[in-house]
Each structure stands twice: as structure tokens, then as C-alpha cells.
Amino acid sequence: MSSFADADPTVALGALDGRYRPVVAPLVEFLSEAALNRMRVHVEIEWLIHLTDHKVVPGVRHLTDDEKAGLRRIVSEFGPAQVEELAAIERETVHDVKAVEYFLKRRLAGIVPGEEDRGLSELVHFACTSEDVNNLSYALMVRGAVTSVWLPRATSVVDQVAGMAGELRGIPMLAHTHGQPATPTTLGKELAVLAARLRRQLRRVGHAEYLGKLNGATGTYGAHLAAVPDADWPGISRSFVEGLGLSWNPLTTQIESHDWQAELYADLARFNRVMHNLCTDVWTYISFGYFAQVRGQGTVGSSTMPHKVNPIRFENAEANLEVSNALFDVLAATLVQSRLQRDLTDSSMQRNIGSAFGHSVLALDNVARGLAGLDAVPATMAADLDANWEVLGEAVQSAMRALAAQRVPGMDEPYERLKELTRGRRIGAEDMRVFIAGLGLPEDVAARLSAMTPASYVGAAPELVRYLDDAGA
């Protein structure tokens, strides 16, 4: 048997890099191994510029604007050839961050002319532990993935749900609590509930804090102060970290504690769980016939049953949300743990961040496409409502309770009387109207209740959808 691995190096081991690559490709710019190395190069270069700009080390001159531009071009021009060069260096160093240091030192002579680069090259990775570079790189990468890829896609899907809620706000629908017919609502109001929940999570993700540190091997600035004892190293570290657009963490071990990551991943996982709830509810509404899958459905639904259009988008989304959450949960649980001042569990664990985001983005793509193919079927919802007149029992007994509280005679035991009429059996419109007529209700109340139908018994559901405006992301 021939080997795919030997014959074709492009054959993917995982689905994200295989059949689903086009959907998740934007994340590659932020969360791939290549993106990590590019960000490491960026952090190292900015640290060198920061040191020289602030004359931290006595006797080291400022870099010229052209020299700074030349250094920053290393980042902007970082591509496949540089990835391969770094990999070759790492095979010698057997250390990824040290490979980045040597990679930059090779280029320095071509950017900073003359003999000056010899001294300057020793400020590349100056006083840094690898985690000084890595924690800042990951914070910038994750922030970029959230703000440039995940959040826009998630917001678009939630806006899609909110738009459907507005369009369907007045479509009456039989509710089901515990799987049983319950007080009617509207399809739009139920979608609005989900949209509001999702928007709340989007707000949390949108306000995430991304922390970073640069303080040496055990977070003490020991090497920094040994080399340049008169410098304000905490202040230099803070201005550098904040200059990258991150929040400075002054108290760490060798690693930044990753608590911000755990907080963010918990919020992302919670969003995923609410989205999973949306998928299962929409799937169920499709099974009830409340939604028809008609638009853009040129696909094969079943390999043997021609009539079927399966809700595969929502099922696919459920599966990918579950995989995403499994990864986000283990990331959040593991990254907050570190033995004493350092161990390497976080290093291996963080290499799975891209997969966690990828499965979430893939799920969002499926939900968006699934929702776009739905049409509400009011006739099916109306038929279900008309077959369940017993749900008006709640309305009648509530009106009777209000009258009893006002000491209107004959309104005793309203719940028990409605239970006897409705529990365990179906009743129709005539049954309900005859029952209402025999209750001895005041004329105006009897007329109001007799005019009520399951389809009209939706309370304020259509108006409640407007509260979505208050739940905007």
C-alpha cells in the first residue's frame, strides 16, 4: 500500500488544514507556527528599537529612521523563505526563540552599516528569557485573531439571528417547555432571546484584556539590573509592553501567568455553548416544520431518500463547537497552572490555540449558511397552535385569580377547574368557549377570553424583540 505521507506532503492530517482550509485560512495569518515566528521577530525588533530609542544601555546610539524602517521590513517581508531559514537554524539550535535571535543577527549587518552592528547585535534578545518574547507574541497573535477574524464573523452571525428575530417577531408559535405544548410565543421573540444571550458574550470578548510582561528569567529583572543597574527596568518594561498595545503585568514568574487567556477562552467557550443551543433549537424547529430549508439547497440531502434536506449545517456546527470547547476548556484549565517558576506544559498547550479558534470559526460559517437557507412556515405553526387550545387554560385561570382577588363571587379554585378541563386531553375552540361561558365571568372578561385564540395568546412577545437594541454588542 502506498503512503500518502511519502507521496504528497500537502495531504492534511486534520480537517482544518484539509477540507475546511478555505474557511479557516484567515486564522493562519495570526495563529499558525509561521505567524508565531513572525511575531517573535516583530517583538525582538521592537525591543531592540525600544532599548536604543531610550538609550537604556549607556553609549549605544539611536538608530536612524532608515535603520528602524529596515528592521521593520524584516517583519513585513517575512514569508515562506524566512520560515524555512528559521527552521534550518532551529535544527541546529534545537531552540525556537534562540533561532529567531540568530536569524535577526544575520540581518543586522545589512541594515546597520559599519562596525557598529557588532555591538548592537548583542542587544538583540538583551536580558530576555524566551518567555519574554513568547508571551508578548501570543498576546498579540490572539488579539489579532479575535479582533480581525473571530469577532467580526461572530458578530455577523449574531446580527443575522437578530435580523431574523425582527422579521419574525409577529409570527405566533406554540412554545414547548419540557417538550410539551406551552404558552404560545412568537418565533422572532425566541430568536431574540438567543441573539441577546450571544451579544452579551460578544461584549465580554470585545472587552478582553491582553496582558504581557518582560522581566527576565524569574520575573525579577535580575539580568537587567546586573547589566545596567541605574536603569528603571520596571518602567522600561511597562512602556515597552504598553507600546505594543498590551496591558503590563508587573508580577510574574518566568512566564506571564496566562490568566487573561483563561478568562478569554472561558468567554469564547460560553459563546460557543449559547451558539450550540441556537443550533439545537433551530434543528428542532426544522424537525417541527416551523422552518423549511429551501433557499440554496441544491445539495443531496440523503444518499437514498430523495425527499430529504438534512439540517447538516447545524449538525456540523454542533460538532465543531464541541471540539472548539473541548480545546478552549483544556487551554483555560491548563494554562493557569505552572510548577513553581516555570514548566513547559503551557508551551505545548498554546500550540493548540489555532485549532480551538478554527473549529469555532468553522461552526460560525456553517450556522451562517444554515440560517441563510431557512424560510419560516407560518402555516405549520398555525396548525400546531390550533391543535392545542388547552394552552389557553393558563389565561383563563389567571383572569379568574385576578377576579377572585377582587372578591368577585364564583371565582374559587380556578386552577383546579381548568386542570379538570384540560389535563391529559385535547380540547377545541368550542370546548373552551363553552367552558368560559359557564364560569359566570363578568361580561367584558368573558368576551375578551372567548375572543382569544392560541395564536393571539402571545402576550408582549412581538414588542419584546425591541429590547435587542439594548443588547447590542
Cell representation of residue 272: 460557543
Q: Which three cell numbers stand for residue 175?
A: 412554545
Cα(242)–Cα(139) distance, integer angstroms: 12
Which residues belong to the active site?
Answer: 178, 302
| Main-chain dihedrals φ then ψ at residue 329, nearest 5 degrees | -65, -45
How many residues would you count in the chain?
Answer: 473
The grid cell for 192 is 431574540
Q: What is the dihedral of CA 298, 304, 306, 309, to 10 degrees?
A: -50
| Cβ atoms 57, 122 nearer than 8 A | no
Strands 291-293 and 374-376: antiparallel
- For cell 531559514, what's the residue? 85
Distance CA 198, CA 211 (A): 25
CA distances from 392 to 132, 182, 362, 376, 419 (A): 66, 9, 43, 24, 11
Q: Could you give the count of Cα atoms lying within 13 Å of 209 in the half-sphere of its Cβ?
A: 11
d(CA 151, CA 142) in angstroms, rounded, equals 11
Would you tell me how many other CB atoms lie within 10 Å of the CB of residue 114? 7
Let me know: does 184 contact 457? Beta carbons within 8 Å. Answer: yes
Cα–Cα distance for residue pair 353/258, rounded to 1 Å: 13
DSSP summary character for residue 306? T
What grid cell was written down for 189? 421573540
Q: Where are the alpha helices (DSSP H) in 207-290?
A: 222-227, 233-243, 259-288
Are 354 and 32 in contact, with CB atoms under 8 Å apart? yes
Which three cell numbers, joined as nine digits, stand for 108?
A: 543586522
Cβ(327)–Cβ(359) below 8 Å:
yes
Phi, psi of 12 (to 5 degrees): -90, 145
Q: Are 183 and 393 in contact (CB under 8 A)?
A: no
CB 376 within 8 A of CB 35: no
